[in-house]
Structure 1
Amino acid sequence: MAKHRIYTTAFASIYPLYVAKAEKKGRTKAEVDHVISWLTGYDQKDLKAQLEKQTDFETFFAEAPKINPSRALIKGVICGVRVEDIEEPTMREIRYLDKLIDELAQGKMMDKILRRN
């Protein structure tokens, strides 16, 4: 079975869409970066480097410095699919990020988004 095309899509091509979605709802680029950092462990310098290298999604997650173990607390539906039911690991990571960006755009408090109940 062929890989989904999102795997080979440059993270840098989707990142501005994440930022635009958040900013449209009154959130900031810094908050988007914070969510990405929480999920992946990339600091600002490394995130910028990944964007400049046009790293694809599969590599972006494979090279992530420290995937947050609390990401398993992310539950809910994204694109009509429950994130906790996605079996393919890379797709699940991508959907975790999508879900976090959605929550940011929906106005949730950062502590809730970062699962700091």
Structure 2
Amino acid sequence: MIYYMAPRQSIDPDELDRLLTVLADQYCRSVIFHFRNSSESVATVAGLAREVRREVEADLGAIAVQLHHSALPRLDDVGIVEYDARSNTVRYLDGVAPRVLLEEVETLSRRPGP
């Protein structure tokens, strides 16, 4: 089945590649969906690790390390979050281009399989 995605805003091809690479990572998706489905816009790494643990079978400490060294810096790089490694805080940024792509991903993830 092919789904039609109505054009809402064009995204630079390089930015699209970076966003899709980030969305391919389960840790990154868990962080994004946590913020999109909650009323908070700021969280700690420890709090996010607990949220990610609901989706990923791993030790809480290992999840926090993965978030700190990989997922959060990558999300920061594409402008989805602002990550302060010194204070271990993460602020969700509701950027237009990432939001457009995330809305499409969320829509597709809710559709029933073939």
What TM-score, normalized to structure 2?
Answer: 0.31
> As a proportion of its length, which structure holds more helix?
1
What TM-score, normalized to structure 1?
Answer: 0.31
Larger radius of gyration: 2
> As a proportion of its length, which structure holds more strand?
2
Between 1 and 2, higher relative CO (CA 8 Å, sep ≥ 6) is seen in 1
